[in-house]
Amino acid sequence: MSVELQQVPVRTYLEEPSRPRFRLPANACDSHVHVFGPSQRFPYAPDRRATPVDAPKEKLFALHRRMGIQRCVIVQSIVHGTDNRVVTDAIAAGEGRYLGVALVPVDVPDAQLQELATSGFRGVRFNFMRHISGGADIAAVLALTPRLATVGMHLQVHFESELVHELGEALARSAVPVVIDHMGRVDARKGVGHRDFQGLLALMEDSLFHVKVSGIDRVDPIAGPYDGYSHGVELARVLVERFPERCLWGTDWPHPNHTHIPDDGALVEALARIAPDESHLTQLLVNNPQSFYRFEH
């Protein structure tokens, strides 16, 4: 797709989300966000499908101050492709409280992986989504994982819900832990008993896997801010209760490729319903990110 078709920037986030009344524990971590631009300094990938309004690190830091979040993991976006400088810059400005997940080609040189790891990247992400062109080859991704293990990185995967059945067996052969994005992008309207969510639960029985209970606002195709994203909350709560030590949470700010613009304050408020008690909440927001991403104490 030519760049000429992508010139109108799309706003995907609220400038002033509501301020949550729900108080988060100290060192709470937002484990899934992106940063976009500023495009004059960090150009967008020429083959991107859309051009977002800049969402630079300064906006992200301000959001986290407003939400009461002290730690964060920034995931490189396809908007910037495999040029990870925009996240590297944000990590460097984050004073040890911000880490990253990179996008790389499967044949990335070992020296580049080591450089990313030294810069604060803890993993690499691959997409298996139909709406994202050039999806990864699972065999090639698995072949990369021993090299990820050498530099202390994990594998993060983003796939459509029905792919859990065919990708799950392959991903179980990974040489490093595997993080599943956004609850496997299940259709929350179909409930806990649907075969795709059951497939995710079965996969999570293997301690190799971790899951992000992010995306309560994504997994119901009919936007549900009016009822507090109740369908997504229900699935997230099941995962947190069943796998308390292997769940991570994130806002997914600035919410690219979405059906609507979520209120980040509402997403934070939903944590009161996702985590059934203070112990689960601290595990989800503090202990798990600390252990998995290795933040400096």
- Tell me the pLDDT tens digit for each residue of 255-285: 999 989 999 999 999 999 999 999 999 999 9
Tokens of 6: 């992508």
As a whole number of angstroms, the distance between CA 62 and CA 66 comes to: 6
Confidence of residue 225 (pLDDT cuts 50, 70, 90): low
Averaged pLDDT, 29-41: 97
pLDDT tens sequence across 134-170? 568 999 999 999 999 999 999 999 999 999 999 999 9
Averaged pLDDT, 22-41: 97
Query: What integer pLDDT is reported at residue 171 of this predicted model?
Result: 97
- The residues, any chain, with a CB within 8 Å of residue 197's CB and separated by 6 or more, are 161, 183, 184, 186, 190, 191, 235
pLDDT at 133 over 70: no
Query: What integer pLDDT is reported at residue 196 of this predicted model?
Result: 97
**Smallest Cα–Cα separation from 179: which of 285, 75, 94, 106?**
75
Query: What integer pLDDT is reported at residue 132 of this predicted model?
Result: 54
- Give the residue ranges of DSSP H helices in 172-250: 195-204, 230-242
- Give the residue ranges of DSSP H helices in the chain: 57-67, 85-93, 110-118, 138-150, 164-171, 195-204, 230-242, 264-269, 271-274, 278-282, 288-293
| Residue 289: burial class (beta carbons within 10 Å; 0-12, 13-18, 19+) | buried
| Residue 96: burial class (beta carbons within 10 Å; 0-12, 13-18, 19+) | exposed
Averaged pLDDT, 218-227: 71
Query: What integer pLDDT is reported at residue 129 of this predicted model?
Result: 80
pLDDT at 4 over 70: no
More confident residue, 133 or 197: 197
User: pTM of the full predicted structure?
Assistant: 0.95
Query: What integer pLDDT is reported at residue 2 of this predicted model?
Result: 40
**Smallest Cα–Cα separation from 151: which of 294, 270, 1?**
294
More confident residue, 204 or 3: 204
Q: Which residues are catalytic?
A: 252
Tokens of 62: 């301000």
Does the domain made of 3-293 have the CATH classification 3.20.20.140?
Answer: yes
**For residue 118, which amino acid is it?**
T
Query: Cα–Cα–Cα angle for 152, 134, 105, nearest 5°?
Result: 30
pLDDT at 1 over 50: no
Average pLDDT over all residues of the chain = 93
Residue ranges covered by each domain of the chain: 3-293
DSSP 55-106: B-HHHHHHHHHHHT--EEEEEPPTTTTT-THHHHHHHHHTTTSEEEEE---T
Burial 23-34 (b: 16+ CB within 10 A, else e): ebbebbbbbbbb
Q: Residue 235: phi, psi to the nearest 5?
A: -70, -40
- The CA–CA distances, whole Å, from 128 to 103, 108, 116, 235 equal 13, 18, 23, 22
- The residues, any chain, with a CB within 8 Å of residue 123's CB and separated by 6 or more, are 101, 102, 148, 153, 154, 155, 156, 179
